[in-house]
Structure 1
Amino acid sequence: MTDDKLSSKLTQNLLEILNDEEYYDVTIEVGNDPYIKIFRAHMVILYYRSPYLKRILSTNKKKNDGILEHVKLPNISPEIFQIILSYIYRGKISLEECDTSDIIKILSAACILSLQELVVYLQSFLIENKTKWMEENFGLIYQTSFENNSYLELQKYCTDLISKEPTKIFKSLNFSSIPEKLLISIIQNDYLQMNEVQIWERVIKWGLAKNPEK
């Protein structure tokens, strides 16, 4: 039997454990009203796979010894958590059919749960496979990348794009959402290959979007 077949059997068994309805010892309440979903899981797997859940489970165990564990994750949607939970059990994730916006949400959830290896992998996947989307949605990517110090690869991507190809940011779909400080740094960039009229047209459009009542 080859290594791949052995690994495949392990993955199959772990998925069977995940889907088991009898021997679970943790319930996880995910989402917010009116859309909440309860997931069943196993403490020993969550404990060793997610440092964040490890802290919660350790605290709860001291308070509720012998009682079924219950964890709440209101800041993650049920759809995204389903993907994350599958990854926690399988150690694998398939992103080819995911919308890029959902990959950003998966990245955020992975960060919340302290799944650092997944955080690193997702950033690399985005940079290697979704550059066009990120250029078109640069405002969102820029804001996301600097929300957390774990997003070092995305931060570098944003910094490089600002430094080397700032014109692409002007063409992004959500250009009007970028922060004022970023706009100023782009305008002052030596690599910005646009004439003054084009620049000021974009700045005026940005200003009107920021202050629609004026």
Structure 2
Amino acid sequence: MHRTLALALAAGLVLGAPALAQPVRIVSPYRPIFTTQSLGPAVAYLRTGQAAPDFGPQDGPLLSARYTVRLSGPLELEVRGGAASSRRTLFAPDPTNPLQPPQRRGEVPVTLALGEGAFRFRLTGPRTWHRLSPFLTAGFGLASDVRRTHPEEDSVPPDARFRFGTRFVVSTGAGTEWYVGRRWALVPDVRLRWWRLDRPRGLQRGLGESSAWVPNLAVELGLAYTF
């Protein structure tokens, strides 16, 4: 009996030896990103900040295109240009009582052109985690009202007419690239931009500060082709 048991143990060791000798495969959730550039469109909804009264650009869609290039390791440079379709309200002081709040005089369309450069920092470095590559951004740029004047403003006193003009923009944001293919990625992100609004002199009575930096939040979904 002892002899039979010893033979069985020896046979088990011999048969199991090849399996024990095989290397253990470890599947990593990380994958390197070999491409260094990307290009693609993006669509966003822009929620604009206001200064009393609400004379600045209102909420609206924002369409843009962006290009990114890797600088070193997790650091990238992002350049983008876009346009936002919006409206703004016309205000005029009460001619019978200047101490009363300004009166609404209708709305006019606004087209904002936006140009921006930003640094992008990938939190996972030049690699993905479960096909995701989250990032943070910080940058600056310019925003300009393409449609500067309107006939509807003829009913508003000159010193109460708002001009957006060209504004310096500071931005921060966060998002991720979700790789859905070898070279294609969906890019959802949230971008917060600040620009300054200057209240027209004719609307300043009793409203405090004449200018303010206001936050403008954009929730965005983009498509990127990497190469």
Q: What TM-score, normalized to structure 1?
A: 0.21
Bigger RCO of structures 1 and 2 (CA < 8 A, at least 6 apart): 2
More strand by percentage: 2
Q: Pick the structure with more helix per residue.
A: 1
